[in-house]
Amino acid sequence: MPEGDTVLQTATRLHAALAGQVLTRSDLRVPRFATADLTGRTVLDVTARGKHLLTRIEGGLTLHSHLRMDGAWRVFSPDERWRGGPGHQIRAILGNTEHTAVGYRLPVLELLRTDQEDRAVGHLGPDLLGPDWDPGLALDRLLAAPDRPLGEALLDQRNLAGIGNVYKCELCFLARVTPWLPVGALPDGVLPRLVALAERLLHANRDRPTRTTTITSELRTPTNRGLARSPARDTGHPRPRPPHRVQERLFVYGRARRPCLRCGTPIRLADQDDRPTYWCPGCQSGPTP
């Protein structure tokens, strides 16, 4: 599932292509809204809220979409061949004289009144990449269920919006605890620093090309002290050396059975709440499956 920074990149592309332009083509290919016609209306803005996309349209309407695992929005010029999947996977088309936005495999697509957007996103916690970001509120929500495993709590968008499975695994590695450790069992002071680091990492990655999330190279600043220290067996390097291969932009995610970049122990893989979860048994303490 796309992380909050990837969804924000999608919103930025859609906003650049559609905002301020009158729709000359509108096709919503879901039964409930198949007869809706948005042509002649101006797109006002496209914004991300956590992992949700809100396309606001003249007349007090909002097109709400969510990518979940396989969804995607693609933007094409008038003479460009559409790429993104077969035609039967297209769920939405929004076009103007300069661009056409095509939504593929969108599991959530609904047309709302703009003043009723809270029906779709009102349950979300503070957005790590949004103007409403409130680390204190995020901490309060995480600590409200101290017995809950940290990995599950980080993924719960009601606590803080924008963290996906990649960041979940990487943040638990940086906290030196397994994703199954209860939130309330974290050492004093770790959770506030972890929340602050989550916000900084999403901001650092929001302008990177899609699917090139980098965690390791973001650890070369003193703000991570106490979360990203190397174990005592390391020989004088307070942080891991920068990776040289694409797959080493991440410490643990997608690296099952490969050696940990910090201690050399093979990375483990198991499911947590039906999601593939990676951790290093040498660097991370706490319960495991």
To the query of whether residue 168 is one of the catalytic residues in this protein, the response is no
Q: Which of 29, 105, 229, 275 is catalytic?
A: 275
Along the chain (289 residues), what's the average pLDDT of each consecutive run of 10 residues? 85 97 98 96 96 97 93 95 96 98 97 97 95 96 98 97 95 97 96 96 80 62 45 32 54 96 97 95 96
| Per-residue pLDDT, 225 | 46
Give the pLDDT score at 210: 54
135 is catalytic: no
CB 195 within 8 A of CB 171: no
Closest C-alpha among 263, 151, 234 to residue 198: 151
Active site (annotated) includes residue 199 = no
pTM for the whole thing?
0.84
What is the length of the chain?
Answer: 289
Q: What pLDDT is attached to residue 288?
A: 96
Contacts of 74 (CB under 8 A, 6+ apart): 82, 83, 84, 101, 102, 104
pLDDT on residue 235: 24
Per-residue tokens: 163: 């963290």
Distance CA 156, CA 73 (A): 24
- Out of 2, 126, 179, 240, the active site residue is 2
Q: Which residues contact 112 (CB under 8 A, 6 or more apart)?
A: 61, 62, 63, 64, 119, 120
- Helices then strands, counting H and E runs in the chain, come out as 6, 10
Residue 191: what pLDDT? 97
49, 51, 74, 262: the active-site residue: 51
Examine the residue annotation and report whether 141 is marked as an active-site residue of this protein: no
Residues 6+ apart with CB under 8 A from 168: 151, 154, 155, 179, 275, 277
Sign of CA dihedral 146, 224, 274, 286: negative
3-state secondary structure of 44: strand
Strand order in the sheet with 61-66: 43-49, 52-57, 61-66, 108-113
Q: Are strands 90-95 and 72-76 parallel, antiparallel or unpaired?
A: unpaired
